[in-house]
């Protein structure tokens, strides 16, 4: 079983993706993915997410909101999803950490055109969440975006 935590990192209508390393033998080389990774022994979901954010984008933002967990047969594990809302200062401090070739922010429309590490169906299912967050609706409440447990 490969449990993990993933971050949907948002700033001004765009979402952060990391272009994975192009190394033979790694899973999903040279394609885009959202930050996150596997839970290590003894870690909580949130501790995993914070460690992965520090490793991959060199900061641990303050506004991290739990969204829910989903089981993925492809990895035989449960993934916890978090919404990360960057402020202006945090956005300026984001930089590529020790994994990946580069990072970039994309609009929801751009995301669905990318070669993605997870299935197109997975990102299609998240598309309404990306649109809603990017739209900055005044009545937006993160708890409305809960994934099925």
Summarised one tens digit per residue, pLDDT across range 42-83 is: 999 999 999 999 999 999 999 998 888 877 766 678 888 899
Q: What does the alpha-carbon distance between residue 72 and residue 38 come to, in Å, rounded to a whole number?
A: 13
Residue 70's pLDDT is: 79
Question: 30 or 89: which carries more pLDDT confidence?
Answer: 89
Q: Domain count of the chain?
A: 1
Residues 124, 57, 36, 113, Cα dihedral to 10°: 20
Residue 61's pLDDT is: 97
Domain hosting 83: range is: 4-145
Residue 149's pLDDT is: 44
Contacts of 45 (CB under 8 A, 6+ apart): 3, 5, 39, 66, 69, 80
Q: Calculate mean pLDDT across residues 72-100.
A: 89
Question: What is this structure's pTM?
Answer: 0.86
The CATH number assigned to the domain holding 100 equals 3.90.79.10
Token pair listed for 60: 């641990």
């Amino acid at each position: 079983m490969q449990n993990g935590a993933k971050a949907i990192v948002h700033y001004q209508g765009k979402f952060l993706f990391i272009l994975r390393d192009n190394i033979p033998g790694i899973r999903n080389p040279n394609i885009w993915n959202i930050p996150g990774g596997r839970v290590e022994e003894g870690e909580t979901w949130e501790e995993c997410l914070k460690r992965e954010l520090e490793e991959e984008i060199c900061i641990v933002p303050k506004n991290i909101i739990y969204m829910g967990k989903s089981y993925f047969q492809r990895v035989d594990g449960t993934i916890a999803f978090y919404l990360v809302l960057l402020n202006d200062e945090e956005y300026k401090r984001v930089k590529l950490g020790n994994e990946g070739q580069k990072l970039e922010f994309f609009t929801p429309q751009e995301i669905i055109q990318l070669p993605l590490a997870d299935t197109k169906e997975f990102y299609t299912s998240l598309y309404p969440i990306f649109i809603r967050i990017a739209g900055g609706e005044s009545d937006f409440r993160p708890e409305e975006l809960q994934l099925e447990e």
